[in-house]
Amino acid sequence: MCAKSYYSGTVSTGEVSITMDVTQDISRYHVIIVEDIIDTGRTLHDVVEKLKERNPLSLKVITLLDKPSRRLVKFEADMSLFTIPDHFVIGYGLDCDEYYRNLPYIAEYDEGK
């Protein structure tokens, strides 16, 4: 499943778009969502609600990075590896307008520099 709310730049649009959905029946499976970063929580909240409607045996969310200070909806991951401050980060799969995704590390992105 692929979902997004960032389309360009460093600010979420607030509109969650499911760009690729799960086609398999998940009602006989334990589902784990592995996320790169949780920011406002909107995208993951919507994805989790959509998947819960499909009655999985269980549903857990694990994230590499968590920014709870940016949360706009009530949402917590079942496991967060790192809690970070409110900085836009790039690298190691995280991008800004499709750039910097392939950096072999995670770095703070500063638009002004």
In sequence order, the β-bridge partners of residue 15 are none
C-alpha span between 83 and 31 (Å, rounded): 23
Among the listed residues 21, 39, 46, 66, the single catalytic one is 39
Residue 27: what residue type?
A: S
39 as an active site residue: the answer is yes
Closest CA to 33 of 56, 7, 67: 56
Catalytic center residues: 39
